[in-house]
Amino acid sequence: MTNVFILGLGEIGYSNAKYYLEKGCKVFGSDVSADARKKARAIGVHVEEKIGYINLDDIDVFSISVPTAVIYDAVEMLVKEHKILDLPKDYLFMVESTCVPGTCRRIWEELFEKKRGIAHVPQRYWAQDPYGRGVRRKRIIAASDDDTFIKGIKFLKDINMPTFPVYGLEVAELAKVAENAYRNVMISYAEELFGVCKELDIDFWAVKEAIETHQSIGYLLEPRDGVGGHCLPMAAEIMCDLSIFNDIISAAIDADKKYRIFCRNQKGV
């Protein structure tokens, strides 16, 4: 039986835990939120408020599923307070949260001092179906070194997780951020088209259906209440901060803001 420790039992960590349990793993976890701990405990996760109560010597896989902004600090805590670099097992250490490109390499070089490997396996989470379309979807995987790469592929294969290997931690990090930012842009485009249709008194849904007959488009996303959730807006902001080449994404952010104002001012939208 594979022992998995998940740090962070929010939306991503919880759905990961549920899947790992189904695949026969023994899952341990910790989270700062009492509600998250209670929810995870209810499905069979061995949960502790304090990580020190968990015997980390027995852990085969560490999964980091905390919010993007605190990934580095969370791993630093594991290294400095819980001495995970000194553990006897040749464990797999993987980050499943979305990362700002460069985060995993910083962890590997600065915190791990290249003594342990790190894999990045970003989860493709979708809030409306976090289990069916959030966990078991083809996963991008990259690692700091060949041994960790092989261990990561093996673990994911053992739990029936399809993978798409890439070489370079930054490739995996940027791919995850970019795919979320791309979806942000597509939603913002649909919102803007909806506004155009409203202004011209043209049926948006008829236009949408007509557009979707084009073989290169297929499906146009729906405008709802604005770009929702946390992941898509965050990814767009990260992309804007990474480079001066951010005109389209910046415009999408502005378009979404305008659409939200439009919705507030339009009865029945």
> Averaged over 172-192, what is the pLDDT?
94
The pair of structure tokens assigned to 67 is 């919010």
The residue type found at 211 is I
pTM, full prediction = 0.89
How large is the greatest C-alpha to C-alpha distance in the chain, in angstroms?
Answer: 68
> Considering the chain, what percentage of its residues have pLDDT values greater than 70?
96
> Averaged over 164-185, what is the pLDDT?
95
CA distance 39 to 18: 11
> Considering the chain, what percentage of its residues have pLDDT values greater than 90?
78
CA distance 61 to 6: 8
CB contact at 8 A, 172 and 140 = yes
Q: What is the pLDDT of residues 42-89, one digit of tens each?
A: 999 999 888 988 899 999 999 999 999 999 999 999 999 999 999 999
> Averaged over 110-135, what is the pLDDT?
82
Averaged pLDDT of the chain: 91
Q: Is 113 helix (H, G, I), strand (E, B) or coil?
A: coil
Q: What is the pLDDT of residues 3-35, one digit of tens each?
A: 999 999 998 899 899 999 999 999 999 999 999
Domains of the chain: 3-167 (3.40.50.720), 173-265 (1.10.1040.10)
Q: What is the pLDDT of residues 212-252, one digit of tens each?
A: 999 888 888 888 888 877 888 899 999 999 999 999 999 99
The pair of structure tokens assigned to 184 is 């942000």
